[in-house]
């Protein structure tokens, strides 16, 4: 994907409009995919989530709409629209949508 032109480059976008909620699903759309990292928009229906896992990279989650419970290193945090959290590399983390929510995930590869 490194060679593909970024369709969002030079555009003003509302990240909340990039993904739509779907019943019982998690929807994602990549905005940037580079060797240095990625930016992806997600929409989670209520009750959906990502089970505990680790990643080799630091990641930042910014909640755009709704509310989510994000667990980092066994500690739960409740985040609402406008809030963000840093998830350090190799530390287990999980996400759960208390209500439908949208987020941006920024993964820092380098």
Model confidence over 39-55: pLDDT tens digits?
999 999 999 999 999 99
Predicted confidence band at 5 (pLDDT cuts at 50, 70, 90)?
Answer: low
3-state SS, 1-63, equals CCCCCCCCCCCCCCHHHCCCCCCCCEEEEEEEEECCEEEEEEEECCCCEEEEECCCCEEEEEE
Quick check: is 6 in a domain? Answer: no
Quick check: is 69 in a domain? Answer: yes
User: Whole-model pTM above 0.85?
Assistant: yes
- 46's tokens: 């209520």
DSSP run (H or E) holding 95 = strand 93-97
65 vs 3: which has the higher pLDDT: 65
Domain that holds residue 101: 21-108
Cβ atoms 81, 87 nearer than 8 A: no
Q: What is the CATH number of the domain that holds 67?
A: 2.60.120.10
């Amino acid at each position: 994907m490194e060679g593909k032109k970024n369709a969002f480059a030079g555009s003003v976008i509302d990240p909340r409009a990039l993904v739509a909620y779907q019943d019982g699903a998690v929807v994602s759309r990549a905005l940037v995919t580079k060797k240095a990292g990625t930016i992806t928009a997600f929409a989670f229906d209520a009750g959906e989530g990502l089970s505990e896992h680790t990643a080799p990279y630091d990641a930042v989650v910014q909640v755009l709409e709704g509310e989510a419970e994000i667990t980092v290193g066994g500690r739960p945090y409740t985040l609402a629209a406008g809030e963000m959290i840093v998830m350090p590399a190799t530390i287990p983390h999980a996400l759960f949508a208390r209500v439908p929510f949208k987020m941006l995930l920024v993964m820092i590869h380098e």
